């Protein structure tokens, strides 16, 4: 052990006078450091050595700053002083090792003057005042033996300190370890482990039960609920699916029935039920309509809107199709026609030629659901058969005819010039005189007994005499053939469609979610309503309408929406007592869409793109939290919502 005078003479600057003396001091302290750490760790009484004063462990009063990485060896190793430091070695230039100035040594350094000498009552290890400060973990402290390279100054005095170990652990992990001591299921596992069973389990030195490398979670409902919530709803997980969530949890935790609990938790998550899309086949099997008995006895109708306005100011086509013969009438009208005007057109073009139909299949267009139209058809004895809400597949006949009509109009626009309503009569003739796959003949052939004469189908000119009984027989045969062909077509289509569908049924009294879609909002992320919920509700089922439709109990805010929906628009609701459902139902429009609107601008920034500075604004959207705010270009927001920039 070096004499105290030599220690005092060298205090404050390790290696200042004699390199051999510094090496002896470092070697002595290196031998004492493990004993000091062990004494503090075991909370033992102050240790007394043979040649040392009493070492007291008291709280170190100066703050300790933790720095990331290896701060000791961040500079290159010097060959002259065997230390890590930046720049030229001070020992090589003869400069003061304390302040770096020339002309004096460390013992004459002004920074060392008037320094109190209180090194008579014990030893204290503290960092150099002008140097860096470190926090050592338990693993680092065992390896911190080269104090000369750490540039640690030694000083003996009464200012006390101790080495502390800081261990960071999740509170959830601590709760799991504590709850293991009172779990009966784990106690049974320990009993089996003692007799050589269930060898996949083990117990560490702290008494914690593990299944391999996975921590065993006791049978505590609240504890497992907290663990599942952290793995599913926290900002570090953000609602994964059941398979992903189970795969992540099973890497670190184990309990009996873990996969089933994860699947049940995800299935009852309210957020997932409202926003997750179903990666499954479409719900509801195909239900074809009944085959009509006679010509123009059952018709379907729909409107083709959005067409360019012609010289006659027509911009809509009214499509009326006979469901048996597939013959159709294309009537040009204007968007602003009243229901009474439409009734006159229907009488002049449909009833005048074919009589009153027994049923009409249509969607829920406001013109078809008006009181005037319902009263008129009731007077005619016609039954109105509306499609379910937002399910156009119900009136598939009209939709398919509209597709063919649109293709023929596009061809006319490319081939000839003029307005589309000028060629609409020829389009109607070409459609009705062409072969149809569903009836295996042309609509005119089924309607009149033979196809109408055309340049490509020119019959011989002459008198044709058909006897009455023969005419009746031919007509009946063609109708029978058409009905048989329609039945074959429906069966074939149903067999194809049901392969990509799944049967889904609900019971009266159950609660379901209703599918909605955003519309007419600003393009967030380039796509309208990208962050919007997909389902609203839940709503109670009042009754079953048909095979694949249900009537829901809608709130007063949705009284303007028809309450009968196809099963493909519904999703089953999994109840949980903690669910709190809140959504502005008054914003839902009649077509089950809602408008996304910005509420405020909460931030601004400029981004440089291709040497051009573009201003962006961070927009807070209605019915969304601040975390869901999005960055949009200021130009688009200012043009569509100028009221946000008034203040």
CA dihedral 501, 505, 511, 514 (to 10 degrees): 30
CA angle 65–69–73, rounded 5-degree value:
100
For the ranges 37-51, 247-261, 601-615, the lowest mean pLDDT is seen at: 37-51
Query: What's the fold here for domain 298-458+469-485?
Result: Nucleotidyltransferase; domain 5 (3.30.420)
More confident residue, 463 or 96: 96
For the ranges 18-32, 236-250, 256-270, 315-329, the lowest mean pLDDT is seen at: 18-32
> Quick check: 336 pLDDT over 50?
yes
CA distance linking residue 329 with residue 321, whole number of Å? 7
At residue 503 the predicted structure's pLDDT band, cuts being 50, 70 and 90, is confident
Grouping H, G, I as helix, E, B as strand and the rest as coil, residue 601 is: strand
CA distance linking residue 300 with residue 291, whole number of Å? 13
pLDDT tens profile 276-286: 777 777 777 77
Q: Where are the domains of the chain?
A: 1-168, 171-267, 298-458+469-485, 511-595, 598-645
Q: What is the mean pLDDT of residues 374-401?
A: 79
pLDDT tens profile 125-170: 444 444 444 444 444 444 545 544 444 454 444 445 555 555 555 6
Do the Cβ atoms of 360 and 300 come closer than 8 Å?
A: yes
Residue with the two structure tokens 């079953």: 544
pLDDT tens profile 162-195: 555 555 556 788 888 888 888 888 888 888 877 7
Q: What tokens were used for 192?
A: 């089996």
More confident residue, 495 or 318: 318
For residue 179, the surrounding DSSP H or E stretch is helix 171-179
> Quick check: 208 pLDDT over 70?
yes
Q: What tokens were used for 387?
A: 């499609």
Q: What is the mean pLDDT of residues 620-637?
A: 77
- pLDDT above 70 as % of the chain: 67
Residue with the two structure tokens 């003869």: 94
pLDDT tens profile 569-622: 888 887 776 665 655 554 555 554 555 678 788 888 888 777 778 888 888 877
CA distance linking residue 152 with residue 127, whole number of Å? 6
pLDDT tens profile 415-462: 777 788 888 888 888 888 888 887 788 888 888 777 776 666 655 555
Do the Cβ atoms of 250 and 213 come closer than 8 Å?
A: no
- At residue 419, φ and ψ (nearest 5 deg) are -90, 150
Do the Cβ atoms of 78 and 87 come closer than 8 Å?
A: no
Query: What's the fold here for domain 598-645?
Result: OB fold (Dihydrolipoamide Acetyltransferase, E2P) (2.40.50)
Do the Cβ atoms of 126 and 155 come closer than 8 Å?
A: yes
- At residue 247, φ and ψ (nearest 5 deg) are -65, -35
Counts for the chain of helices (H) and strands (E), in that order: 19, 25
The predicted structure's pLDDT at residue 112: 65
CA angle 322–323–324, rounded 5-degree value:
95
Query: What's the fold here for domain 171-267?
Result: Endonuclease III; domain 1 (1.10.340)
pTM exceeds cut of 0.75: no
For residue 401, the surrounding DSSP H or E stretch is helix 396-415
pLDDT tens profile 412-423: 777 777 788 888
> Quick check: 554 pLDDT over 70?
yes
> Quick check: 240 pLDDT over 70?
yes
Do the Cβ atoms of 388 and 570 come closer than 8 Å?
A: no
């Amino acid at each position: 052990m070096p004499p105290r005078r030599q220690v005092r003479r060298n205090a404050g600057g390790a290696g200042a006078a004699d390199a051999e003396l510094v090496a002896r001091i470092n070697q002595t302290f290196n031998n004492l450091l493990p004993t000091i750490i062990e004494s503090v760790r075991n909370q033992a009484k102050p240790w007394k050595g043979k040649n040392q004063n009493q070492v007291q462990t008291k709280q170190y009063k100066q703050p300790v700053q933790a720095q990331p990485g290896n701060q000791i060896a961040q500079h290159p190793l010097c060959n002259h002083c065997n230390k890590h430091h930046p720049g030229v070695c001070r020992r090589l230039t003869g400069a003061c090792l304390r302040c770096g100035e020339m002309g004096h040594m460390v013992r004459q350094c002004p920074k060392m003057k008037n320094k109190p000498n209180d090194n008579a009552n014990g030893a204290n290890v503290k960092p150099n005042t002008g140097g860096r400060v470190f926090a050592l973990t338990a693993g680092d402290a065992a390896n911190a033996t080269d104090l000369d390279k750490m540039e640690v100054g030694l000083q003996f005095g009464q200012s006390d300190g101790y080495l502390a170990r800081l261990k960071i652990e999740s509170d959830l992990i601590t709760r799991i370890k504590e709850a293991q001591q009172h779990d009966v299921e784990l106690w049974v596992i320990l009993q089996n482990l003692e007799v050589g069973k269930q060898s996949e389990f083990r117990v560490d030195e702290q008494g914690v039960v593990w299944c391999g490398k996975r921590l065993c979670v006791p049978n505590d409902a609240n504890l497992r609920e907290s663990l599942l919530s952290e793995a599913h709803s926290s900002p570090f997980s953000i609602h994964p699916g059941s398979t992903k969530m189970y795969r992540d949890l099973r890497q670190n935790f184990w309990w009996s029935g873990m996969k089933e609990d994860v699947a049940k938790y995800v299935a009852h998550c309210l957020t997932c039920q409202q926003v997750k899309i179903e990666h499954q086949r479409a719900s509801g099997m195909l239900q074809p309509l009944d085959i009509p008995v006679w010509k123009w006895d059952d018709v379907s109708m729909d409107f083709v809107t959005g067409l360019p306005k012609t010289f006659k100011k027509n911009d809509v086509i009214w499509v009326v199709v006979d469901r048996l013969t597939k013959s159709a009438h294309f009537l040009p009208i204007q968007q602003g026609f009243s229901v009474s005007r439409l009734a006159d057109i229907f009488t002049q073009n449909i009833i005048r030629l074919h009589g009153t139909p027994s049923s009409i299949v249509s969607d829920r267009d406001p013109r078809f659901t008006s009181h005037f139209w319902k009263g008129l058809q009731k007077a005619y004895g016609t039954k109105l058969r509306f499609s379910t809400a937002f399910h156009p597949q119900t009136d598939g006949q009209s939709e398919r005819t509209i597709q063919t009509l649109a293709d023929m109009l596009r061809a006319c626009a490319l081939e000839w010039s003029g307005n589309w309503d000028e060629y609409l009569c020829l389009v109607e003739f070409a459609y009705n005189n062409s072969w149809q796959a569903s009836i295996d003949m042309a609509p005119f052939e089924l309607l009149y007994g033979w196809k109408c004469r055309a340049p490509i189908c020119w019959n011989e000119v002459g008198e044709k005499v058909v006897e009455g009984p023969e005419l009746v027989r031919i007509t009946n045969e063609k109708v029978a053939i058409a009905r048989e062909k329609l039945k074959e077509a429906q069966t074939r289509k149903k067999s194809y469609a049901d392969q990509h569908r799944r049967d889904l049924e609900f019971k009266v009294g159950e609660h379901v979610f209703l599918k909605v879609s955003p519309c007419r909002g600003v393009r967030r992320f380039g796509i309208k309503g990208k962050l919007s919920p997909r389902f609203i509700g839940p709503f109670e089922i009042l009754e079953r309408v048909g095979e694949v439709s249900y009537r829901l109990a809608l709130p007063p805010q949705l009284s303007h929406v028809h309450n009968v929906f196809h099963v493909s628009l519904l999703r089953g609701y999994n109840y949980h007592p903690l669910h709190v459902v809140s959504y502005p139902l008054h914003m839902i429009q009649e077509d089950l869409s809602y408008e996304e609107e910005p509420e405020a601008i909460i931030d601004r920034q400029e981004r440089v793109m291709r040497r051009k500075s573009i201003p962006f604004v961070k927009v807070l959207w209605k019915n969304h939290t601040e975390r869901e705010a999005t960055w949009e270009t200021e130009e688009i927001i200012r043009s569509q919502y100028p009221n946000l920039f008034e203040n």
